[in-house]
Amino acid sequence: MRMDTFVPGITEPPQASDSDLWFVFNAGRLLVISEGESARVPSRGELEELGVAAARCRHYLGRLGERDCFTAAAEAPPELAEHVEWQGLRRLFGRIDETVLTIAGRAVQIIEWDDTHRYCGRCGSATALKQGERARVCPDCGLAGYPRLSPAVMGLVRRGRELLLARSPHFPEGMYSALAGFVEPGETLEQTLEREVREEVGVEITNLRYFDSQPWPFPHSLMIAFVADYVSGEIVPQPGEIEAADWFGIDRLPRLPHPFSIARRLIDETVASIVKTAP
């Protein structure tokens, strides 16, 4: 399955099918059927056989190939079959089709938005879904609430054949990645990256080049990645934010993020570019 076979949608089709894919969540974890080292999302028919009631926050997501996709929240039943489990999305990296995992990321954000916008943030009245749009609207004051999206900028800093990589205290042991941070009100993406690199490691950068972007549902980010060049400064990790940071030659890189992440693609493609242009 390729990502371009998924067509997003809001309006539910008139007829249901047992082959519809259901992205069912409980406490942020996705219901999956395990098949050895792999996993997959259940169909409508399988969901009924498992006795899982998709009772809350039901939404239509769109169409993947010939199958319609839905999401909903459910209470975990007391017992599940041995091959069925609730899993966090990070734990599914490498186990589930990447297109399906991307749709799951969309689904979990819609579930979180629906669950946290049932009441108006201005007047407290109960909200209602708006027909034809992904929005919840207050019938009393008219305030509309849309799914939240928090843009974050990631930057891989180059110094010749070296890359500046850092690790956060919550990273898996030994793993390093590119620097990143959330965009603040009034900032451009470039200003955000310059500020974040300065704050987190005390380094000045220049020549920012856009790389790519990736929806990142942890919990509702859009990651926008750049490559930048080093200008000046000695590495000084920001207390509480950066556990360690260093310059790594492209032939001695540390443990890196999962290949599904934009961080890994950013690092891999930058290394490939350096190797290709080497004299």
Please name which of 48, 62, 54 lies closest in space to residue 26, comparing C-alpha atoms. Answer: 54
194 is in an annotated binding site: no
Residue 60, Ramachandran bin (φ over 0: left; ψ between -120 and 50: alpha; else beta) = beta
215 is in an annotated binding site: yes
117 is in an annotated binding site: no
176 is in an annotated binding site: no
104 is in an annotated binding site: no
Q: To 5 degrees, how large is the angle CA 28–CA 40–CA 25?
A: 20
**Per-residue tokens: 64:** 């993947």
123 is in an annotated binding site: yes
151 is in an annotated binding site: no
141 is in an annotated binding site: yes
69 is in an annotated binding site: no
120 is in an annotated binding site: yes
260 is in an annotated binding site: no
Q: What is the CA radius of gyration of the chain?
A: 21
216 is in an annotated binding site: yes
81: amino acid identity, one letter: A
| 131 CB-side CA count, 13 A | 0
218 is in an annotated binding site: yes
180 is in an annotated binding site: yes
200 is in an annotated binding site: yes
Residue numbers belonging to the annotated binding site: 90, 120, 123, 133, 138, 141, 146, 180, 196, 200, 214-221, 241, 263
Which segments are annotated as binding site for substrate? Answer: 90, 133, 146, 214-221, 263
Q: From the annotation, which residues make up the binding site for Zn(2+)?
A: 120, 123, 138, 141
Please state the residue numbers annotated as binding site for a divalent metal cation: 180, 196, 200, 241
